[in-house]
């Protein structure tokens, strides 16, 4: 599941900097994506999104991006075992055309990409207003941009220490359990909870519709990242959580898929219940 969330992060960033020209829009609407998908499938991969970065006639890399030539047509054939395993997997969903019409909000998010960082340690803010504004802007942008990519909008809730339910429940003991021991993040000011109903059975492989839903959750998480970065807030995504505790706090029967924490970034490390050596060292 986590690789689909990561694909959602990358998909939003690519759509924000994708080439804005009649040619790029035509390519995304043509059969080129399907041709690339077939080539990817022949290598055992699944194409989940297609975007175009225009480097000009001289193939100069756009600012902040590195261009690699991937036109080598040689591929490795699947082994017999890989072929058998692949035959049991559901087909990948239709690739998402990663293009968003340019606007002020999209420009703000695109400009925040270069400064995007994951905070290792968070604490509460002196004033809760910046986090409240960033959270509301995140929700507004999710409701506008995710459908523009043809994807379903997941549920998005925020829990803040300044809200009644947050002040009552976000105590150190509860938060430490809910974050599976990631105590350096337990002091965050606000948690954005991204949730939806996953209808596939636990033992099943993910259907195409569920794959698209989880990618959409990753896009929502990246919108939260970039919105908070643009507002000058500390932010980090949290995948290792106790989903049932967060669902209970949010009073939802949905599956909690991803968490984004906002606050004042401090020097520290990401520790969890599985180890104390940190993940940023």
Judged against a pLDDT cut of 60, whether residue 274 lies above it is answered with no
pLDDT of residue 109: 92
Distance between CA atoms of residues 104 and 107, nearest Å: 5
CA separation for the pair 84, 95 (Å, rounded): 24
Cβ-based neighbours of 208, under 8 Å, separated by 6 or more: 90, 91, 92, 93, 94
Q: Alpha carbon of 252 to those of 197, 214, 275, 276: distances in Å?
A: 10, 18, 31, 32
**Structure token digits, residue 184:** 């350096």
- b/e map 153-167, b = 16+ CB within 10 Å: bbbbbbbbbeeeebe
The two tokens of residue 270 are 């990401």
Give bridge partners of residue 159 from the DSSP assignment.
191
d(CA 18, CA 62): 10
Q: Residue 268 — very low, low, confident or very high, per pLDDT cuts 50/70/90? A: low
pLDDT for the residue 280:
40
Strands 121-123 and 96-97, by their bridges, are unpaired
Q: In the numeric block, which tokens belong to residue 131?
A: 């986090």
pTM of the model: 0.81
pLDDT confidence of residue 271: 53
Q: Which pLDDT does position 16 carry in this prediction?
A: 87
Distance CA 98, CA 3 (A): 18
What pLDDT does 18 receive? 74
- Please state, rounded to an integer, the average pLDDT across all residues of the chain: 79
What is the phi-psi region of residue 193: left when phi exceeds 0, alpha when psi lies from -120 to 50, beta otherwise? Answer: beta
Q: What percent of the chain has pLDDT over 90?
A: 31
The predicted-structure confidence for 125-173, as pLDDT tens digits, reads as follows 768 788 899 999 999 999 999 999 999 999 999 998 877 666 667 887 8
pLDDT given for residue 93 in this prediction? 74
* Range with the poorest average pLDDT among 85-89, 119-123, 184-188, 217-221: 85-89
Per-residue pLDDT, 78: 63
For 33-84, what is each residue's pLDDT tens digit?
A: 667 666 766 666 677 777 776 654 455 555 565 666 555 545 556 677 766 7
The span from the CA of 277 to the CA of 257, in Å, is: 26
Over the stretch 154-167, which tens digit does the pLDDT of each residue have? Answer: 999 999 887 766 66
pLDDT given at position 279: 46
């Amino acid at each position: 599941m986590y690789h689909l969330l990561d694909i959602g992060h990358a998909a939003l960033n690519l759509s924000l900097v994708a080439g804005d020209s009649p040619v790029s829009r035509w390519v995304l609407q043509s059969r080129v994506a399907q041709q690339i998908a077939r080539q990817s499938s022949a290598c055992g991969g699944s194409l989940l999104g297609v975007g175009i970065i225009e480097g000009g006639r001289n193939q100069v890399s756009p600012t902040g991006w590195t261009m690699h030539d991937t036109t080598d047509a040689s591929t490795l054939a699947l082994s017999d075992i890989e072929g058998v395993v692949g035959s049991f997997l559901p087909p990948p969903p239709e690739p998402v055309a990663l293009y968003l019409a340019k606007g002020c909000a999209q420009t703000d998010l695109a400009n925040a990409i270069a400064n995007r960082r994951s905070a290792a340690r968070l604490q509460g803010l002196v004033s809760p207003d910046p986090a409240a504004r960033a959270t509301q802007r995140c929700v507004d942008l999710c409701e506008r941009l995710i459908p523009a990519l043809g994807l379903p909008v997941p549920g998005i809730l925020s829990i803040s220490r300044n809200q009644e339910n947050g002040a009552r429940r976000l105590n150190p003991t509860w938060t430490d359990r809910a974050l599976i021991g990631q105590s350096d993040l337990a002091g965050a000011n606000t948690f954005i909870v991204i949730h939806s109903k996953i209808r596939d059975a636990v033992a099943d492989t993910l259907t195409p519709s569920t794959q698209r839903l989880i990618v959409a959750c990753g896009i929502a998480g990246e919108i939260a990242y970039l919105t908070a970065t643009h507002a000058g807030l500390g932010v980090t995504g949290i995948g290792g959580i106790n989903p049932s505790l967060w669902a209970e706090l949010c009073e939802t029967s949905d599956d909690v898929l991803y968490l984004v924490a906002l606050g004042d970034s401090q020097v520290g490390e990401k520790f969890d219940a599985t180890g104390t050596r940190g993940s940023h060292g």
